[in-house]
Structure 1
Amino acid sequence: MTDLSGVTAVVTGGNSGIGRAMAIGIAKAGGAVSIWSRNADRNAEVTDELRALGANTMSVSCDVADEAAVAEAMRRTVAELGPLGCFVANAGMVDAPAPIVDTTLESWQRVLRTNLDGAFLCTREAARRFVEQDSGGSIIVVSSTSSRYGAAGIASYAASKTALLGLSRTLAVELARHRVRCNTLIPGWTRTSITSHGQQNPKFMAATIGRTPVRRWAEPDEYQQVAAFLADPTQLFHTGNEVVVDGGYTIF
C-alpha cells in the first residue's frame, strides 16, 4: 500500500468532485493535504472530512488565476504543513455549452483563465518551491478525455485541457534534473457537478455509456488510489506519463 507519510500535498479545486477524491486518497495514504479553492465553506467541509481520517490538513481560499494569491497560498501551506511534496493542478471549470459560432470571447477567456492560466501559475509556483527545496517531488496535472476527442459545445474547455498536456510534458522534461516528476491524469466520464448538464440528457448518457466498455460513468471516489500512486515519492522513474482512467472509453 502507498505510504505518503511526511508528504505535504496541495490539491487545487480539492473541495468537490475528482479533486476532493484525490485529496481523500492522499490523506488515506498518510499525506498532509492543503485544499486550494475559492469556496471557503466547501473547503471547510472537506478539511473536516480529512481530519476525520486523521490527516493533517488546511485550506486556503484561493483563485488559482490570481498570481499573488497563488504565491500567498503556497507560502501559507508550507509554513503550516511543511515542505511541498506533491502538487495536484486540478482546478477547472466549464461554461454553459454553446456552438463555436456562438461562443463569446469573454466566455472563452473565462474558461482558459482558470483551466490553463491557473494551472500555469500553480505549477510554476510548485516548480519554484521544489527547486528551492532541492527535495524532489511530484506534480499531477488533471486533464480530460476531451484532450483526445472533439468536445462539441465546449470548445474552450477542450482547448484548455489539451493545452495542459503540453504544459505537463514540458514540466516533466524540464524538472527531471531536479528529481521532480510530472504526470497527467486523464479522467473519463465522471459523475461530478461539472458534468451535470450531460447527466441530465438521457440520449447523451446512453451514447457515452454505450461507447464505454465498462458500461457506466465513474464515481469520483474511484480516483482516490490513483492519486496516491501518482503522489508516491518512491516512484522515481515514472514521469511524463498520461494515466488514463476512463473505463476503456478512449480505446473503444
Structure 2
Amino acid sequence: MARMPWDMSGKVVVITGGNSGIGLGFARGIAKAGGDVVIWGRRADKNEAAAEEIRAYGVRVLPQSVDVSDETQVIAAMAEAVEKMGRVDGVIANAGVMKNSGTFTDMTSEDYHALLAINQHGAFYAAREGARHMRARWDAGDESGGSIIFCASLSAVTGSVGMQHYNSAKGAMASLARGIAVDMGRFGIRANTVCPGYTVSETVIDGGPDSVLGKQVRERDPMQRFGTADDFEGIGIYFMSDMSRYHTGDIVYIDGGWMANAGKINIATARR
C-alpha cells in the first residue's frame, strides 16, 4: 500500500516551546500523523507531562530541557536529539515570550534584547542547527530534505503599542524563513512562517464575551472566536509532512479570518 503524503511515520520533529499552548498543539498533530516528537522547554516537569500526553499516540517522544536563548544548549540538544532519535526531519521554532513595555519610549534596552534573545535569536539557533543536520544528510545522499516552521504572530505584519520588540522578533522570523527558503531549497530544505491570530494560551486568555479582548475578537474575527491549540494540528502536519514538499518561503495566517477582515467590525455580528 502506497504511503500517504501526510503519513509522518519515521519522521522526527523538534518543537521548541512544545510543552504547552500552540507548541503542544503542533506536537499532537504530528503524533496523530505517526511522527516522532522532540519537545524542548525550560521546565523539565512540563516537558515530561507533555511527553506523556504525546506518547499516548504510540510514537516516540524525547523531552529535553533547553533554554533556546543559550546557543550552546541548542547545539548540544540538537546533537543529542539526532543521536537518540536517529534523525531530525523538521524543526518548529515556537518558543517565545510576550511582554508589554507600556509605550515605545518606555522600552528599555534590557527589555528589547531580553525578548529578542528568546523569540528571535533562539529561533535562529534552532533552525540553523536543524538545517545543518538536514543538509549533512543531503550531502550524504539522503534526498529527503526537511522542513522548518517559524511560529510568528500577526504582530509580524502589524504594529502593537508597547510591543515593538515583539513585532521586531516576529517580523524577523518571517524574513529569516524567506532567506532560508531561497538558500536551502537546493538541499531539499523548506522554510515557512505560520502567523497565529488571537489564540488561547498561557499569555492570551479568553475572558469571555464581556471582557475587552473577548468582545473585540468576537466582533472583529469572522469566525467570532479565539483560536485554540488544536487549530494548529493540521498546519503542523501539512508543513512537516511531504504534503508541502513544494511549498516554501511563505507566510500562512491561522487567524479565523482576522487579517482578511482587516480588523473591522463584523457587520453580521453588529446587526445581531
TM-score by length of 1: 0.95
Change (3 A) 1:89 1:60: same
From 130, 143, 162, the counterpart of 2:152: 143
Q: Which amino acid aligns with 1:85?
A: D
What per-residue deviation string (whole Å, max 9, x for no partner) do you get for residues 23-52 of structure 1?
111011000100011011100000000111
- Residue 51 of structure 1 pairs with residue 55 of structure 2: yes
From 63, 75, 83, the counterpart of 1:71: 75
Q: Which amino acid aligns with 1:125?
A: E
1:228 is aligned to 237
Deviation of the 1:94 alpha carbon: 0.9
Deviation of the 1:241 alpha carbon: 1.4
Q: Which amino acid aligns with 2:80?
A: R
Distance 2:182 2:191 in 1: 8
Moved over 2 A (4+): 198-201
Contact 1:4-1:26 at 8 Å conserved across structures: yes
Distance 2:118 2:250 in 1: 23
- Which structure is larger by alpha-carbon Rg, 1 or 2? 2
Distance 2:71 2:213 in 1: 38
1:60 is aligned to 64
Deviation of the 1:74 alpha carbon: 0.6
Contact 2:8-2:34 at 8 Å conserved across structures: yes
Q: Which amino acid aligns with 1:188?
A: G
- Residue 20 of structure 1 pairs with residue 24 of structure 2: yes
Aligned residues: 251
Deviation of the 1:165 alpha carbon: 0.8
Distance 1:23 1:204 in 2: 27
2:226 is aligned to 217
Contact 2:89-2:146 at 8 Å conserved across structures: yes
Contact 2:174-2:192 at 8 Å conserved across structures: no
Distance 2:220 2:243 in 1: 36
Deviation of the 1:96 alpha carbon: 4.1
Distance 2:29 2:86 in 1: 19
Distance 2:225 2:88 in 1: 36
Contact 2:152-2:195 at 8 Å conserved across structures: yes
1:176 is aligned to 185
Q: Percent identity?
A: 37
Which secondary structure does the structure 2 equivalent of 1:48 belong to? helix
What per-residue deviation string (whole Å, max 9, x for no partner) do you get for residues 116-141 of structure 1?
01011111111111111114011111
Deviation of the 1:199 alpha carbon: 4.5
Which secondary structure does the structure 2 equivalent of 1:84 belong to? coil
Deviation of the 1:98 alpha carbon: 1.7
Taking only aligned residues, the RMSD between alpha carbons, in angstroms, comes to 1.5
Gaps of 5+ in 1: none
What per-residue deviation string (whole Å, max 9, x for no partner) do you get for residues 194-249 of structure 1?
224x8588223212331111111111111111101110134321111111110000
TM-score by length of 2: 0.89
